[in-house]
Amino acid sequence: MNPENSRAENGQGPLLRLFYKFGAIALFVLLWQLACAAGLAPETFVASPIVIAKTLWQYATDGSLYRHSVISLSRAFYGFLLAVAAGVPLGFLLGGWFRNFERVMGPLLYFLSQFNPFALFSVFLLLFGIGEFSKVAMIFWVSIWPMVHNAALGVRSVDPLHVKVARSLGTGKLRLLWKIVLPSSATYLFAGLRLAAGTAFFMLIPAEMMGASRGLGWLIINAQVNYQIPKLYTGTLAIVVFGMLMDAFFRLLERRVVVWKEAKCQP
């Protein structure tokens, strides 16, 4: 959440760091368990952490967790991949190079980004059927906007002096992109990647409402319909964990790739 803070206090012992990292979550789980045990939370609506853990273990051992995860991850991945493939070039075009392109396309893209995915739900169904593609399209539609936005911001953050210097040294267009524009906007690009990936995971549940028969989102919806509360919480937990793992992965990747720059603090 706050890399600068944690880096500044890295000098403290590993135990303390662990405490800060997982203490609150552990406390929360403990309180939750106690509330369930004391009967403060009715069992029909809230599953206790132990029950969730048991259910998770059961799903993990009979292989159904794996089955659902794989299909969900691949949907989120394809939606995310399409969003990045379309969003980065679009953002670059918006952010620089053609000023008029931004003036004309900026408002239109903003207008389109306001088209609610839930409302488009039935349109996607009509256009793409109930197959894989409509789900991927829905995830794509939501996760492309943070990518476009951040890529545009990134290009705008490129120091014009660097571009001028490179150009006067005779750098070609492609080289300029690779050597100046991409590295300069890397922090923003990574922020966009993380946001897009997060959104892709967030949209799994609504996307899998559309006539899916497998996947974590489907698991949650199915549990909701059948009122299987432990199953509902287990699916939710799995999606949260995957989403956070993905976020951590991109943070790590950013630190590996963008070694020359202090990481921007972004919540």
Binding site for another protein (CB under 8 A): 1-2, 5-6, 9, 19-25, 27-28, 42, 44-46, 100, 103-112, 114-123, 126-127, 142, 198, 202, 205-206, 220, 224, 227, 229, 232-233, 235-236, 239-240, 243-244, 265-267
Closer by beta carbon to another protein, 45 or else 260:
45
| Closest CB to another protein among residues 20, 178 | 20
Helix (H) or strand (E) holding 50: helix 49-61
CB of 116 or CB of 213, closer to another protein? 116
Which of 65, 70, 99 has the alpha carbon at shortest distance from 231? Answer: 65
Taking the complex as a whole, the smallest distance from the CB of residue 170 to another protein amounts, in Å, to 31
Expressed in angstroms, the distance from the first to the final Cα of the chain is 6
**Of residues 71 and 195, the one with the C-beta less far from another protein:** 195
Smallest gap, in angstroms, from Cβ of residue 123 to another protein?
A: 6
CB of 15 to another protein, least distance (A): 14
Cβ at position 57, least distance to another protein in Å: 20
What's the CA gap between 236 and 216, in Å, rounded? 8
Q: Which region holds residue 129: left if phi is over 0, alpha if psi is between -120 and 50, else beta?
A: left
Tokens for 240, please give them. Answer: 């949260």
The nearest distance, CB 244 to another protein, in angstroms, is 6
- Which residues have a Cβ under 8 Å from the Cβ of 129 and sit 6 or more positions away? none
Please choose, from the candidates 82, 73, 84, the residue with its C-alpha nearest in 3D space to the C-alpha of residue 192. 84
Question: What is the length of the chain?
Answer: 267
| CB nearer another protein, residue 136 or residue 204 | 204
Compare residues 170 and 267 and give the one whose CB is closer to another protein. Answer: 267
d(CA 83, CA 136): 10
Residue type, 61: T
Is residue 82 a contact partner of residue 136, using CB atoms and an 8 Å limit?
yes
Q: How far is the CB of 182 from another protein (least distance, A)?
A: 23
